[in-house]
């Protein structure tokens, strides 16, 4: 099924009635009307969720990296990082399994939008 629309679709050529055929009496062509500015795609909720995701990612990374070995495993490390390390041992099979889980989740999310 060919994709209709999208940014790569060519606009049809203007009709002969829409094109100016003769210059104005002063010799200049009439001005072309300005296009409307594009609509903003950012929303407040989208921006907030993006910032929340970034802050959570920084928090998990900080908990994984900044661990004081003299004090043992602290609260954030024990609560967040240890379960993640148990789920992913770093072997090739783990990478393949999590890739499959991620792709399945992406496909479910995409089909839910249709």
Q: Are 38 and 44 spatial neighbours (Cβ–Cβ below 8 Å)?
A: no
Question: pLDDT value at position 19?
Answer: 55
Give the confidence band of 111 by pLDDT, cuts at 50, 70, 90: very high
Quick check: pTM over 0.75? no
pLDDT of residue 1: 47
| Cα 49 to Cα 108: distance, rounded to the nearest angstrom | 20
Q: Is 2's pLDDT higher than 80?
A: no
Tell me what the mean pLDDT of segment 41-68 comes to: 85
Average pLDDT of span 62-82 = 69
Backbone angles phi, psi at 48, to 5 degrees: -65, -40
Q: Is the pLDDT of residue 51 over 80?
A: yes
**Rounded to an integer, what distance in angstroms lies between the CA atom of residue 39 and that of residue 33?**
18
């Amino acid at each position: 099924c060919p994709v209709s629309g999208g940014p790569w679709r060519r606009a049809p050529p203007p009709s002969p009635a829409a094109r100016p055929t003769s210059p104005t009496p002063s010799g200049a062509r009439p001005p072309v009307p300005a296009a409307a500015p594009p609509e903003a795609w950012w929303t407040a909720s989208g921006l907030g969720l993006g910032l929340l995701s970034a802050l959570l990612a920084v928090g998990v990374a900080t908990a994984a990296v900044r661990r004081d070995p003299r004090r043992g495993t602290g609260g954030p490390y024990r609560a967040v990082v240890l379960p993640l390390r148990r789920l992913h041992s770093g072997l090739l099979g783990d990478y393949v399994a999590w890739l499959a889980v991620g792709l399945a989740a992406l496909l479910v999310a995409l089909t839910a939008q249709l």
